[in-house]
Structure 1
């Protein structure tokens, strides 16, 4: 009897130690991942600030290094940030309609992937293809720097437009529309700086690529997000 009790106590102690060890491992893993996330966030923050101050020279520097790590971080950061914000808004919308209308989360998530990272990588691919067709030359990862530089301005424009919308509903559309031209000009300036070919060809390559990218993204958006837009419009009006 006593031996059975001792064995039971030992088993209990072993289970408690294993449970504590598991919690310790989980805590260590969470702390490690938290530190990694904060480190990555700091790097993204530095990249964004530098890109806002030096949009073209940053693209040139990254093209010369033939590095894509900083650019991929920013492209990913924009995609994750906007997707999370939109999913939160969708959740608020679904709660407000109380089941009368409900926007599907998966379709919204898929749509945001297309509008963010999908559109970025599509434009990157098309720029590489069209540049190669006309015998343009650039570093292997140069176009990454062009797209990520534009993403930085995209985020800045969205922030400025949102603040203006809260302050004055009469001017935010005009300011936001004007800033879009800055966004396009910055991207084209970066593209010109990192690609070697005729300046005349650069104009047409960039313009054609933009048109094709927008056409494909709009088509996919209408294909996947048509019901989402219709539900929102129906609820509003």
Structure 2
């Protein structure tokens, strides 16, 4: 399995001739998404999309429409509220998943965990949020710092989110003790801010013997990938 990242919280994985998009949200521009679709379509079939929850930085109607246009048969796996929003946007047939569910999308085995978004503020209702483990290895929790019910081999660590502090992020890493980790949710951080979070995550990983990975952007050639 290999992959590259999209802006902010998005990720694209490839495995055995299939591709999986995770949270292609509004921070991902039309040009960036088009390049991603073109890059994976050269070697793979887009088999599925996972959307962890309904917030716009994790999905947008134009981005999902573009993916569906390129791969009409791609399954979309998400929460009930997000599936309803997709339906209203003219993107039907999303599969509603819950904690403990499992599914297949092409060459990907998907196991879903977690069920709630982190609290943003007492005045803002807490919504559903679903995390996913891909092929028994890579775990991505969306907007949640809940501990997955397993030790992830590769764990997404959300940084720079409006619902967490750097201490929350470090505690998340320490509690999970992943063998490898990667950073997500950096779209609202400056360069120095990103460097600070990266330093603290590295320090937390060092206490448990973990390693920080860096998923690349596609680049001009469209060939950049991280092999997992």
Query: How does the TM-score come out when normalised to structure 2?
Result: 0.22
* Larger-Rg structure: 1
Which one scores higher on RCO, CA 8 angstroms, separation ≥ 6?
Answer: 1
More strand by share: 2
More helix by share: 1
Query: How does the TM-score come out when normalised to structure 1?
Result: 0.22
